[in-house]
Chain A
Amino acid sequence: MTIPAVILFFIFHTFPLLQGIFYSFTNWRGYGDWDFIGLSNYVNVFKDMRALNAYGFTFQFAIVSTVLVNIFSLLIALGLNANIKFQKTLRAVYFLPNILSILIVGFIFQFIFTIFLPQFSDALGIQALATNILGSPDYAWVGVVIMAVWQATAFNTILYLAGLQTVPEDVYEAAAIDGASPWKRFWKITFPLIAPFFTINMVLALKTFLMVFDHIIALTGGGPGYATESISVLIYRGGFEGGQFGYQSANAVIYFIVIVALSIIQLRFLQKREVQQ
């Protein structure tokens, strides 16, 4: 059973990966003849404004979204873990966005940003919100962040909730007897105890957001101009529609290295923090 699995995994995952790396050294367009061109694809990615722009947007989006998702999901998880009424129902509601398709949620948010918000603020006479932010090259990314955070907070909340349930109740009782304030109790007890969950959530969220694709396709299509074009969208567009198979393969290899490097740095950094606690 293991041997066929390894073979299939190799054929459909590792082999395409190796092919991708191979094509990154060629000028192949996806059809026709090709030549080896050495590292020039790699050099060109660093000179390509569209590619650099995609990296800039993706990092900006991923970092802001990761931070926001973790703040919101930790707060919601703390709330849901407290001694509240309707606990089961509230948990069910807060997990709901996670079961919805990102693409369709994106279409709905696109409508909210382009039609609903301008109409709504017009009616209230608020000028600041009257323009569609998705149409602004400077602020369109904010719209993508809002939608991504709305959808992704649910899953991280569940992970934090799982973490909070591993914290034994008697630790709090001891702290309460010592007269620790709620704020102090959170930073000195709860947070250190759920540190591994914080690490996992940060790494997972960043990795997912660096691969952002559906959100962009549904909300902005990468626009206005190339303002919200993510790396995945660029590789897809350039590779399939732009005849840049070889070139975008080089971009994909760089993207791969960036994701692996960031994940390792993040893990090292966050795990070191865990040990010190």
Chain B
Amino acid sequence: MRKKKNWLVTSLLIIGTLLIFFPLYLTINIALKTPGEMVKPLLSLPDEWRFQNFLDAIEMTNFFQALSNSFIVTFSVVVLTVLTNSLVSYAIARNMHKKFFKGLFYYFVSAMFVPFPIIMLPLVRQTAIAGMDNLIGLIFLYIVFQLSFNVFIYVGYIKSIPVALEEAAVMDGASSWKIFWKVIFPLLSPMNATVAILTALYAWNDFMLPLVILTDPEHATLPLVQYIFQSEFSTNYNLAFASYLLALLPMVIVYLIAQKWIISNVTRGAVK
């Protein structure tokens, strides 16, 4: 069955990718042009590749500062989220028969339906008073907020892991702390990878939380920098597009290297 390659579907899908590549082609193209060339047809290639746009954009947006902020935030959030959220989920999953933990599960999961704007106004005041209107505060909030969704998917996964494995470890005299890190955590790898990918995409691309929480421009993350830049220098499209491209590139490079792994893990996360 189904041995022949379906060329009709293949061609349709290839034509469809034009829709995805078109905005990206336009972005690269404009980022390389001079303002003078903007009056010519926009799809034509630049007469001469102007890399100066990138250098100017780097200087005007303080690109490397924003890049390192985004990197610090995303890296810390991913590592700490995987380590803490899995542990909390484990405790809940293995104690679901107790009323308290069952209640906790529903408490965390129901928070998924709370729209951010409802907590935004009080949260901003609260973080400002606590001196958390900086990168540390941002990292902290991402880890706490991610708990809702992660408890939901981790608990489902942990339930499918047989308890017998832990019972064997208990017989050998292992503490529950040790059981988690030596037995359970490695078994969670597929789910850890899924959580790590989704968390990384969220923390890297999020715009709303940095917008309302951060007060010092030095702390701005990449999306926030683009927003400030766009509102101040919107007239020079070449410079703006060079800046957008620089902001998109790090994630695109990571994606190009790890795309197979990323897609298979997100798919696997969805099945469970």
Contact = CB atoms under 8 A, between A and B. Distances in A.
A101 to B, nearest CB: 4
Interface stretch (B45-53, B55-63, B116-124, B159-167): B116-124
A46 B127 CA distance: 31
A217 B255 CA distance: 26
A169 B240 contact: no
A166 B121 contact: no
Given A16-B126, A94-B17, A108-B26, A253 B118 contact: yes
Contacts of B183: none
Given A85-B5, A103-B227, A255 B263 contact: no
A259 interface: yes
B117 A84 contact: no
A252 B144 contact: no
A123 interface: yes
A111 B237 contact: yes
Nearest to B230: A107
The B interface, classified by DSSP as helix, strand, loop or mixed, is helix
A249 B262 CA distance: 39
A80 interface: yes
A104 B117 contact: no
A252 B75 CA distance: 32
B13 A79 contact: yes
A260 B227 CA distance: 31
A83 B17 contact: no
Interface string B73-89: 00000000000100110
A71 interface: no
A256 interface: yes
Contacts of B17: 90, 93-94
A108 B13 contact: no
B106 interface: no
A243 to B, nearest CB: 12
Contacts of A12: 123, 126, 140-141, 144-145
A98 interface: yes
A23 interface: yes
B247 interface: yes
Interface in B1-32: 1-7, 9-10, 12-14, 16-17, 19-21, 23, 26-27, 30
Interface stretch (A59-67, A128-136, A156-164, A183-191): A156-164
Contact of B84 (A5, A94, A166): A5
Contacts of B144: 8-9, 12-13
Nearest to A261: B113
A30 B125 CA distance: 9
Interface string A229-256: 0011001100110000100110011011
A16 B9 contact: no
B260 to A, nearest CB: 6
Contacts of B111: 9, 13-14
B185 interface: no
Contact of A102 (B19, B104, B205, B251): B205
B178 interface: no
Contact of B260 (A92, A99, A111, A211): A92
A160 B101 CA distance: 32
A1 B93 CA distance: 13
Nearest to A249: B121
Given A13-B145, A96-B255, A112-B23, A104 B223 contact: yes
A120 B122 CA distance: 47
Interface of A: 1-2, 5-6, 8-9, 12-17, 19-20, 23, 30, 76, 79-80, 82-86, 88, 90-105, 107-109, 111-112, 115-116, 119-120, 123, 150, 158-159, 161-163, 165-166, 169, 172-173, 176, 197, 207, 210-211, 213-214, 217-218, 231-232, 235-236, 239-240, 245, 248-249, 252-253, 255-256, 259-260, 263
Interface of B: 1-7, 9-10, 12-14, 16-17, 19-21, 23, 26-27, 30, 41-43, 84, 87-88, 91-92, 101, 104, 107-108, 111, 113-124, 126, 140-141, 144-145, 147, 201, 204-205, 207-208, 212, 222-223, 226-227, 230, 237, 240-241, 244, 247-248, 251-252, 255, 259-260, 262-263, 266-268, 270-271
Given A90-B13, A95-B262, A214-B207, 5 more contacts: A84-B9, A90-B10, A100-B251, A104-B247, A245-B121
